[in-house]
Structure 1
Amino acid sequence: MKLCTENQFAHLSDNARGNTGRAARTQSATYGLKTCNNWIKSVLIARFTRRRPGVSDFDPEDRSLRPNGRVLDMGCGKGGDIDKWNRAKIEEYVGIDVASGSIQDFNERIQSSRRRLNFRPHLYVLDCFSFPISVAVPRALLEPKFDTISMQFCMHYAFESEKKVRQMLENISNSLRIGGTFLGTTLSASRLLDLLSHIPEESEELSIGNPYYNIVFDKRDYEGTYGHSYRFTLVEAVEDCAEFIVHWEAFRELALSYGLKEVYRKDFDEVFAEEQTKPESVKLAERMGVTTNGHLNMDAEQWSACSIYMAFAFMKVK
């Protein structure tokens, strides 16, 4: 299991582990959960990736050729989403992660991959919650502004303090063009707080979970928006890692003050239900092994672990 030490961006995909092969991943006890998470990220990327306006070198009617703009991936980890961005036919990719080891593994993933990328990745080491992006990324790569900014399974680490959340939002707002999107996945505060409320009053430990995951809250009642911590464990991925609840209403209001307007927010089970009405999403779920003949390839406890997460998207409006 991976200890939450240097890399605070401990993702729930293969980003949080070594670069294992597909055969090994299919033997994982949480394979169904991780596959579903990857499918939801694929759906989110396909739906909300924005194209760069003013591109005249491609036929605007031919969606198979038209580039999907510039992407900034904050908390990119070991590059577990690189194939998703490749399928989205993006034009340029900048990935940032706090862990130098993850960036090194990302580079090795690219070099060892047999798949041809349609873009050149630019990778940098930086804590995006503590420093401006310009500290690490060359000015030439910050213009024109990005069309899409992604933060997958890592935003909740910023909620240790208001200062870190504001630095994160400043990086996003300063780097995203008007009309661009900020998309991502994180834990659902409403789901976590609901689970916490159902822990019996007489319980000595504020713990929830099942054989696949475990969450231990520091306090039952918490006043304030930031620093509401818990310890998180996921089998084969994260061990006893300090994370923080994203109080969504407060975050949405703060994000709007940075020119970011919420356009989408759904818990993972709601995403699944909605996307099952779309033939292209159904086909993708079958192809990725999330479902077989419409049935989920995971047990109820893995589905319970999956359902504590949410997907979101904001548009830069000013």
Structure 2
Amino acid sequence: MSIKDFIVNTVADGYNLTKTTSLKERAESSTFHLREFNNWVKSWLILKYCPQQNANILDLACGKGGDIPKYKLKNPAFIAFADISDESVKECYRKYKPLSDKIKAQFIIGDSFNCNLKSLLPKITFHYSSCQFALHYAFKSQEMAEKAVANLTDQLLPGRYISITTVNACRLVRLFRERYDRYPPGDETSDTISNDLYLAKRNFDLKNIPPFGAGYIFYLKNAVNSIEEYLVHPKVLIDLFKAKNCELVYNKGFQEFYYEACNSNPEAKDLYIKLLTKKTKDFSGAAMTYSEWDIIWLYSIFVFVKSGDPTEIPKNVKRYPKVSNEMSYLDAETGESKTVIVPDNPI
């Protein structure tokens, strides 16, 4: 994609336009290894920080439900899935259906960062909160970021964790500065960084970067359709969670996490090997391209814990009738309960 081809989408439209792909198509994709790396990071976060049995899980900005197989391994009792893209939530529902006799779920469609989750689910508390590759959209404004953090923390029980993957603001700013210094003022590419898989166009002043609203348009092949994202300043994020009695316990860029796994985190390394061999049978197809590796640099992990001691999770041995093609969901804006028919195979 060139800068001239940029068509900026809203978050909802951008993800509604993203096609659902088959396993075969994903395996042949130019971002296959990047996708698997991201899945490894998320798998490790769930393995390490999500309780083993009967947990209530919040998946804020759940997308198409790609983490459902990872949650399944933890045998949760309940999952709340929330996302702004109605097409993504429908695909998430399709993935959930086979597990619906064992796991209860609530689906929420709409802006899950701007809504009041506590009013939508007043009787629910969570043992694990997750927000993967999405919190940067909430940093459009301070008010929106504060609401997003409140939704991730207000119903989280003491001693429980919030795991986040989001943009690596420090890395992005460094790349934008290097690009700006290399090209003369007025050059149409001086505010753009890219390779053959992604393109990012800066919309903020490098000399005066605000804590909120530092936007850039981002395109990632097979994943993100030209949507405005916002820098997530680490200190600002940490302060927002501190105001909610949550302390940072882990923070690494994706590449740092990879090096740590190779050298001093055998649990993460073993998981990486297990996932790779499951996908590729051997390591002959496991080599990540330079372009994919560049993109890995652009993301970071943050894990917070809510103050207090965790309590024992009640046992849950209930079984439920499997759900039909009629999906019940809550409208994030109005709180109204609605239904929609979700065919087994998208047209």
Deviations 1:73-105 (A, max 9, x none): 000111111101112222221111122222222
1:44-59 correspondence runs (5 A): 44-49=45-50, 51=51
- For 2:60 and 2:281, the matched residues in 1 are separated by 29
Unaligned runs of 5+ in 1: 52-65
Identify the residue that residue 213 of structure 1 maps to in structure 2: 198
Matching of residue 129 in structure 1 with residue 113 in structure 2: yes
In the aligned structure 2, how far is the partner of 1:135 from the partner of 1:160?
Answer: 23
Of residues 120, 124, 148, the one that matches 2:104 is 120
Q: Superposed, which structure 2 residues align to 1:184-199 within 5 Å?
A: 184-199=164-179
TM-score of the two chains, using structure 2 as the length reference: 0.77
Match of 1:234 in 2: 220
Which of 85, 92, 99 is matched with 1:99 structurally? 85
- Please tell me whether the aligned partners of residues 128 and 167 of structure 1 are also in contact (alpha carbons under 8 angstroms): no
In structure 1, how many angstroms separate the alpha carbons of the residues matched to 2:195 and 2:173?
A: 17
SS of alignment partner, residue 240 of structure 1: strand
Match of 1:165 among 145, 158, 167: 145
How many corresponding residue pairs?
A: 293
Task: Go from structure 1 to structure 2 and tell me whether the alpha carbon gap of 1:67 and 1:119 turns closer, same or farther (over 3 Å shift).
Answer: same
User: What's the CA shift for 1:289?
Assistant: 3.9
Letter of the 2:146 partner, please give it: R
CA RMSD of aligned residues (A): 2.6
Measured in 1, the distance between the counterparts of 2:241 and 2:248 equals: 8
TM-score (norm 1): 0.84
CA distance 1:275–1:255, change in 2 (3 Å):
same
Q: 2:270 aligns with which of 280, 287, 299?
A: 280
Counterpart of 1:252 (choices 238, 241, 258) is 238
Amino acid at match of 1:107: Y
Pairing partner for 1:5 from 4, 10, 16? 10
Q: Which runs of 5+ in 2 are unaligned?
A: 2-6, 309-347
Pairing 1:273-312 to 2, within 5 Å after superposition: 273-276=259-262, 277-278=265-266, 280-289=270-279, 293=283, 296-312=286-302
Partner of 2:210: 224
Determine helix, strand or coil for the equivalent of 2:232.
Answer: coil
Counterpart-to-counterpart distance in 2, 1:136 and 1:16 = 27
Is residue 307 of structure 2 the alignment partner of residue 317 of structure 1? yes
Quickly say closer, same or farther: Cα 1:98–1:264, change in 2 above 3 A. Answer: same
Question: What amino acid sits opposite 1:128 in the alignment?
Answer: S
1:34 maps to: 35
Over 3 Å counting, the alpha-carbon distance change for 1:90 and 1:16 in structure 2 is: farther
